[in-house]
Amino acid sequence: MGRLSTVLCGIELDNPVIPASGTYGFGYEFAELYDINCLGTFSFKGTTKDPRFGNPTPRIAESASGMLNAVGLQNPGVDAVIREELPKLKQVFHKPVMANVSGFSVDDYVYTASLLDKEEQVGWLEINISCPNVHGGGMSFGTDPKAAHEVISAVRGAVKKPLIAKLSPNVTDIAAIAKACEDAGADAVSLINTLLGMRIDLRTKKPVLANVTGGLSGPAVFPVAVRMVYQVHRAVSIPVIGMGGVSSAEDVIEMMMAGASAVEIGAANLVDPYVCPKIIEQLPEVMDRFGINRLSDIIGITK
């Protein structure tokens, strides 16, 4: 095992760097720029049972050190993902990929997850119970421990691959939700999804986003994410994937010290498309600076 490698539910990753769902499409835009096989893996765009257009535009707003999005899970639907996106991805990415799954009912989640579970390219299923931008689903599963338990155990019963529950920060006790997912059979948890926010255009006095509210991400949320990763790591015994505002090798190390076994990077890919390979390249140097031999030594080291 190399200095950067980490293990995620029995699968070894060359490094902990994972582009987050919704900010990396199905990888092709980035494959035009660099060899995306340098990544640990990546989480592809949130996939649902049926194709979705998503929300009307504007879907994007800016904020100090971050952005709000209200994309609303635009995706071609699980059948098209399997028929078109995965074969195309196979040409450019040769590692197991993380499949990000969303839904509006327990049955939806089970349906989509069990289809993706059968795809050999899929290494992990990341179940998004935390999307703040859709109504009647998504986040409503991730803000109540009972609902989270119900959806995760139903999916658990239907799939073989490692199951990751992606958690919402829009709760008072994220550790309780994480525990409920662990009890339901999740192999790992990933956090945080975006924080519910809103901006108003002073000229028109109207919300900037057509959806009125959107999810905040980027460096603005980093300290919130570190705190939640820390709390969740102490509450569960399954691996934690940390994300939220990570933009540098230092941030990756901080997340891992808080308890993350791997780290997802979202919004940063949108403003600096080379951010992931840059972080991977810089990690050894930054580790040297802080006297870290292997990344796996520092997971949850902060007490």
Partner 1 sequence: MKQKILRVCAVRQLTGTMFELKLSGIEGMNILPGQFVNVKTEGNYLRRPISVCNAEGDILTLVFKVVGRGTEAMSRLSEGDPADVLLELGNGYDLESCGEHPLLIGGGAGIPPMYYLARQLKRRGIEPTVILGFNTASECYYIDEFRAVSGSVKVTTADGTCGIRGFVTDALEECTGAYACGPMPMMKALYKTLSCPCQFSLEERMGCGFGACMGCTIKTKSGNRRVCKDGPVFRKEDLLWED
Ligand X SMILES: Cc1cc2nc3c(=O)[nH]c(=O)nc-3n(C[C@H](O)[C@H](O)[C@H](O)COP(=O)(O)O)c2cc1C
Q: Which residues bind ligand X (CB under 6 A)?
A: 20-23, 45-46, 69, 71, 73, 100, 128, 131, 166, 193-194, 217-218, 221, 243-246, 265-268
Kindly state the tokens that stand for 303: 């007490």
> Is the CB of 2 or the CB of 230 nearer to ligand X?
230
List all residues 6 or more positions away from 206 whose beta carbon is below 8 Å from its beta carbon: 200
**Residue 57 C-beta: closest distance to partner 1, Å:** 5
Among 10, 53, 136, 146, binds partner 1 (CB under 8 A): 53
199 Rama class: left (phi>0) / alpha (psi -120 to 50) / beta:
beta
Among 15, 48, 69, 112, binds partner 1 (CB under 8 A): 69
> Is the CB of 274 or the CB of 290 nearer to partner 1?
274
**Residue 272 C-beta: closest distance to partner 1, Å:** 8
Q: How many residues are given for the chain?
A: 303
> Is the CB of 132 or the CB of 145 nearer to ligand X?
132
Site for partner 1 in 82-121 (CB under 8 A): none
Residue keyed to tokens 């990570």: 246
Could you give the string, one character per residue 178-217, with x where binding to partner 1 holds by CB under 8 A and - elsewhere?
----------------------------------------
User: In what helix (H) or strand (E) does residue 113 lie, and over which residues does it extend?
Assistant: helix 106-117
Catalytic choice (9, 38, 131, 276): 131
Respond yes or no: is residue 276 known to be catalytic. Answer: no
Strand intervals (E) in 53-143: 60-63, 66-69, 97-101, 122-128
63 forms part of the interface with partner 1 (CB under 8 A) = yes
* Contact present, 36 and 12 (Cβ < 8 Å): no
**Residue 112 C-beta: closest distance to partner 1, Å:** 18
Closest CA to 138 of 207, 196, 225: 196
Kindly state the tokens that stand for 13: 């990753």
**Residue 23 C-beta: closest distance to ligand X, Å:** 5
Among 3, 5, 74, 300, binds partner 1 (CB under 8 A): 74
Helices (H), 174-221: 174-183
Closest CA to 123 of 72, 83, 164, 158: 164
Count Cβ atoms below 10 Å from residue 297 Cβ, excluding itself.
Answer: 11
User: Contact positions toward partner 1, by CB under 8 A?
Assistant: 22-25, 29-30, 32-33, 45, 53-54, 57-67, 69, 71, 74, 218-219, 267, 269-274
Active site positions, annotated = 131
